[in-house]
A and B are shown apart, each in its own frame.
Chain A
Amino acid sequence: MDVLSNLALGFSVALEPINLVYAFLGVLLGTAIGVLPGLGPVATISILLPVTFTLQPQSAIIMLAGIYYGAAYGGSTTAILVNLPGESSSVVTTLDGYQMARKGKAGLALATAALSSFMAGTIATFIIAFAAPALAEFALDFGPADYFSLMVFGLVAAVILAHGSVIKAIGMILVGILLGTMGIDVNSSLPRYTFGVPQFGDGIDFAVIAMGIFGIGETITNLGRGAEAREYVKDYKGLWPKPHDLKEIVRPALRGTFLGAALGILPGGGPVLASFSAYALEKRISDEPEKFGKGAIEGVAAPEAANNSASQTAFIPLLTLGLPASPVMALMVGALMMHGLYAGPQLIAEKPELFWGLVASMWIGNLLLVVLNLPLVGFWAKLLTVPYRLLYPSILLICCIGVYSIRNDALDVIVASVFGLVGYVLTRLQCEPAPLLLGFILGPLIEENLRRALLISHGSPAVFVERPISLVFLILTAIVVLILLLPAIRAGREKVFAEDAG
């Protein structure tokens, strides 16, 4: 097998002591910074990018990949521990991960995240090694119409996420979409809802909204509770997964892995779409969907596996075609350029040691991540026993600094404060913030692709049903809508109202 000899070459590069050191350093730094609220993978890599410029190309790209996984994993850690999604793809992890932590199962949740991610990482590495070129061709087949239908499907599936009122969830999605329209319109250069503030020209950063709602808003909510209710966890139990936990993790993680691998190769909201469609899928097929949102272990395993395999397959278009599918990948292009390398098919041919070294280091990076983080699980879980009166000022301060450092703009901190107020009001009104954030991420993609698809088809909406990929997603959307509506229709009004009241 050619692939096997290539993989052997890759491992010989990745296992060179110096590269192992850089992979470890990358994972370590990535985790350390990614764990800070507000600093997701893009911010983390931007900060650490200059460090890698002095290294050999292989070492640099291996270290960057390590930073990337580390930062992505760090984001999940804060999502579970303090309900702060460090990046968009860990929003879903807050739903059940944080609930597990509140029940004293933070250790189990973190271990679940680490193990699911590792499993996904392993499988995704093999997918890249064996199927990268074919998958890249598939990604190219996705046109604007297909993206539009996929994103619509994603948004409709997002409704499943909500465990309260469906109407409020849809409303929150719409509010998120509306927030996402802020900024200079790409088609016309018209500033929309920027209120004359130049910084709003690019809209609001996801992390600013997430830090505001989850970091600041949640703190206010917690302080409003009695002193007793808000102490995080007094005793923690179940630090390590027991055999029956492992059994519960494996299947959701596997489903999440494959879903994530498929969505990861698509540009745009890949990992985000992956994490919450994996969650929605688990909730839909579960025998006890009511467990979700209250600390279901599947609700951590599936999305964590999905976003990890997606963040790995996101390398496929970059490495095989030279097309960056996400801002992180665009950073990788820049990093390669600094070393005089241009991502693309020539890279595999001309520098096989670099390509295969990176593939091998992906797996090694995932392994290092587990090795690094499993021992830390105990430490993190213990951190939660710090009295809340010491914890929350720290969270607030690090949120402020984190938000400020996203683009060194003090206005972002004030905007985040406003979203803190929004977040507090939302909890008072029993509206869930997760659908808002998903609407915020997917909304702009829907608009963009809708307009683009119609521009290309010269205004003919038939394009959405004529293209097979698009048609498939529209049919799936219709099915999900039916599934959502059926119980309501069947059970009549009472059931709906009862659900809302509860």
Chain B
Amino acid sequence: MRLSTDLVTGLLFVSLGLFAIVYGWNYPLGTPARIGPGYYPMLVSSGLVLLGLILVARSLFAPGDRIEGISLRPLLFVLTGTILFGLLVEKAGFVISAILVVVLARLADRDFRPLEVGLLALGLVSFVAALFWLGLSLPLRPFPQW
């Protein structure tokens, strides 16, 4: 079983295109004089499906590059950090959310040095507080408010 980038890209294009077609099935296509909201997405998604099929077909004849390994650890930790930031920034305030982003980001790497991470988090939180909160007075909440 070899997964070439062409094959996977092709399948992705096809599924995204099909999804857009199905999801937008009820968007009116309109008339030439009054093109509806569904016409253009339909055109573009069909094009995407077609390109995807070409890629799939081509990958069967000329395999091309294989997909390199997926690095799960950075993927999970980095995304958990940024998603948590999004979920928490309004409730828990930016101080806790920012510390979480920094700590989780560093956990994405095997090279975790507690003291350094602590200092980095402290420095970055102060920077964010000084610049965005005090300096630009953006509507940010520093601490939790229950």
Contacts and interface: CB of A to CB of B under 8 A. Distances in A.
Interface of A: 33, 36, 47, 165, 167-168, 170-171, 174-175, 177-178, 181, 185, 187-188, 190, 192-193, 216, 219-220, 223-224, 227, 389-390, 392-394, 396-401, 404-405, 408, 410-414, 416-417, 420-421, 424-425, 428-431, 443, 447, 450-451, 454-455, 457-459, 461, 497, 500-501
Contacts of B45: 174, 178
Nearest to A176: B44
Contacts of A425: 12
Contact of B37 (A36, A188, A389, A417): A188
Nearest to A421: B79
A397 B132 CA distance: 12
A175 B16 contact: yes
Contact of A393 (B24, B70, B102): B102
A401 B86 CA distance: 9
Contacts of A47: 136, 138
A404 B121 CA distance: 19
20 contacts: A174-B48, A175-B16, A178-B16, A178-B44, A190-B28, A193-B24, A193-B41, A219-B105, A224-B69, A390-B116, A394-B120, A397-B128, A401-B140, A405-B132, A414-B86, A417-B86, A421-B79, A451-B35, A454-B34, A501-B64
Contact of A223 (B31, B35, B89, B109): B109
A193 B20 contact: yes
B65 A396 contact: no
B43 to A, nearest CB: 9
Interface of B: 5-6, 8-9, 12-13, 16-17, 20, 23-24, 27-28, 31-37, 40-41, 44-45, 47-48, 51-52, 54-55, 58, 62, 64-65, 67-71, 73-75, 78-79, 81-83, 85-87, 89-90, 94, 97-98, 101-102, 105-106, 108-109, 111, 116, 120-121, 124, 128, 131-132, 136, 138-140
Contact of A192 (B27, B35, B85, B98): B27
A220 B87 contact: no
A111 B34 CA distance: 50
A397 to B, nearest CB: 5
A425 B8 CA distance: 10
A271 to B, nearest CB: 24
Contact of B139 (A187, A408, A451): A408
Contacts of A216: 78-79, 82
Contacts of A392: 105
Contacts of B8: 429
Given A177-B44, A413-B82, A458-B33, A193 B23 contact: yes
A421 B80 CA distance: 11
Given A220-B74, A389-B109, A414 B83 contact: yes
B34 to A, nearest CB: 6
Contacts of A416: 82, 86
Contacts of A171: 9, 13, 48, 51-52, 55
Contacts of B37: 185, 187-188, 190, 192
Given A167-B51, A193-B20, A461-B32, A411 B132 contact: no
Contacts of A165: 6
A177 B16 CA distance: 12
Contacts of A36: 131
Contact of A167 (B40, B54, B102): B54
B79 A400 contact: no
Contacts of A177: 44
Given A389-B109, A431-B9, A443-B44, A188 B75 contact: no
B101 A400 contact: yes
A438 B80 CA distance: 28
B124 A397 contact: yes
A384 to B, nearest CB: 17
Nearest to A174: B48
Contact of A227 (B13, B33, B111): B111
Given A396-B101, A451-B35, A192 B41 contact: yes
B86 A413 contact: yes
A178 B73 CA distance: 31
A220 B128 contact: no
The 6 nearest A-B residue pairs measured at CB = A459-B33, A224-B71, A413-B86, A223-B74, A414-B86, A185-B37
A8 B97 CA distance: 53
Nearest to A396: B105
Contacts of B55: 167-168, 171
Contacts of B47: 174
Contacts of B62: 497, 501
Contacts of A399: 82
B28 A223 contact: no
Contacts of A413: 82-83, 85-86, 89
Contacts of B5: 428-431
Contacts of A405: 132, 136, 138, 140
Contacts of A443: 44
A428 B6 CA distance: 11
Given A174-B44, A400-B89, 15 more contacts: A175-B13, A187-B37, A188-B37, A223-B74, A224-B74, A396-B78, A396-B101, A396-B102, A399-B82, A404-B89, A414-B83, A417-B86, A428-B68, A451-B40, A459-B33
A165 B131 CA distance: 42
Contacts of A458: 33
A174 B13 CA distance: 9
A410 B83 CA distance: 9
Contacts of B86: 400, 404, 410-414, 416-417
A177 B40 CA distance: 9
Nearest to A408: B139
Given A413-B85, A455-B33, A33 B136 contact: yes
